[in-house]
């Protein structure tokens, strides 16, 4: 079966919706990567029945590499699956939305389809906005569920560890690898980005 002409593909601000095998595979692979990153280092926080992890690095990397659609879907699904697998199911619905929004915002701000360099100010700004949205998203959810003291405690851990460490890992990865990956696999990115 021949792919439809790129000019007839429908998308969102230059990003094709994942309907084809390649883009669906990328969503699946990065959802799994985010799930594993979230689960591999998970430090429980008894005050909020939650945990701190480094999964945000994967969410940010996905948004920075593939844009808002794949970043949002993989970020939300992979992170929510980790919550379910680690039995933090009370967080799974909020995580689907919060991490999905984080990946979407990182991807839309960074706009990787127009990438010409290893890193630019938009990448850093995207990581900052995505981290702020994640931190405040969980803070509001935890206030609603657990009250202010526990939410405030985890707010600082989310800001320092998940946002700070995740953002640093994502930026270092992007500096080291994004340009090489996009230059060596143009056929992949041609099926994700509209010209």
- The pair phi, psi for residue 42, each rounded to 5°, is -130, 115
Report field, pTM of the whole predicted structure over 0.85: yes
- Which residues does the chain have with pLDDT short of 50? 1-8
Cα 81 to Cα 2, 40, 42, 84, 177, distances in angstroms: 34, 13, 14, 5, 27
Fold of 13-40+49-108+116-189: Arp2/3 complex 21 kDa subunit ARPC3 (1.10.1760)
Confidence at residue 195, expressed as pLDDT on a 0 to 100 scale: 60
Question: Which is nearest to 118 in space by CA: 69, 58, 171?
Answer: 171
Name the residue ranges covered by the structural domains of the chain.
Answer: 13-40+49-108+116-189
């Amino acid at each position: 079966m021949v792919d439809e002409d790129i000019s007839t593909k429908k998308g969102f601000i230059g990003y094709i919706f994942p309907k084809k095998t390649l883009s669906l595979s990328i969503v699946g692979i990065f959802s799994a990567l985010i799930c594993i990153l979230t689960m591999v280092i998970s430090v429980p926080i008894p005050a909020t029945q939650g945990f701190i992890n480094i999964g945000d690095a994967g969410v940010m990397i996905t948004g920075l590499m593939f844009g808002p659609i794949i970043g949002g879907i993989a970020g939300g699904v992979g992170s929510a699956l980790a919550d379910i697998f680690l039995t933090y199911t009370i967080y799974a619905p909020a995580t689907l939305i919060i991490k999905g929004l984080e990946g979407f915002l990182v991807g839309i701000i960074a706009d990787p389809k127009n990438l010409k360099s290893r890193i630019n100010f938009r990448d850093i700004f995207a990581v900052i906005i995505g981290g702020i949205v994640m931190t405040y998203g969980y803070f509001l959810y935890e206030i609603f569920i657990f009250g202010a003291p526990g939410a405030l405690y985890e707010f600082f851990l989310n800001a320092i560890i998940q946002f700070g460490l995740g953002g640093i890992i994502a930026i270092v990865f992007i500096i080291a690898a994004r340009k090489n990956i996009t230059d060596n696999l143009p056929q992949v990115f041609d099926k994700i980005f509209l010209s």
